[in-house]
A and B are shown apart, each in its own frame.
Chain A
């Protein structure tokens, strides 16, 4: 399941809802991305997340489908926020549930790695020097490349 929303989410309630009634699940892994107040040397006052409505949902659904093809997953959740967010606020939640932990751990890493390089979101940071668009990181490309099969 994927969701793109402005409002915050309750991590406990989301994970509870993800596994409810699915008693074959042996483990759930999750990753929660937060807004930092510092990026390298820069102080960040807040950030605004822009996205491409329509394409965002399509890419996230595709990332979920690819994870389900690669691992035996009983449930997948991706929630990503947009709009203005302050340090400490949640940006993203990804979770994967499976009978066994290895599939859940691997799928969770895959979901966030692919999301970061494929889902059309952009961060605009508020810094003391003015607004600044965040540059894509080559380390994110490298993390995503780990999951490309030969």
Chain B
């Protein structure tokens, strides 16, 4: 699974993208966020309040109960501020 981080999630986590292979029980977006939180202080800080984290799977916005598959591209980012 490919993970992408943008804006302040990227700066807090310290990397823009990575490939991960989470355990099989990480089957939804919500479970992925919980799993990521335990990977280090940067992750814990960035994902402290998941209500303000937006998630896109394969470049489509999804809700926290969205199922995940091994080949997915999952992006985590704050609410958008373009325009």
- Interface residues, chain A, CB within 8 Å of chain B? 33, 49-52, 54-55, 58, 80, 91-92, 112, 115-124, 133-137, 140
Contacts and interface: CB of A to CB of B under 8 A. Distances in A.
B76 to A, nearest CB: 11
Contact of A136 (B60, B61, B79): B79
A93 to B, nearest CB: 11
Contact of A116 (B8, B56, B61, B80): B80
A121 B4 contact: no
A52 B83 contact: no
Given A50-B7, A52-B6, A54-B59, A122 B83 contact: no
Given A55-B59, A119-B80, 20 more contacts: A49-B82, A54-B59, A55-B75, A58-B59, A80-B82, A91-B82, A92-B83, A115-B82, A116-B80, A119-B83, A120-B80, A121-B81, A122-B78, A122-B81, A124-B7, A133-B8, A133-B78, A135-B81, A137-B81, A140-B83
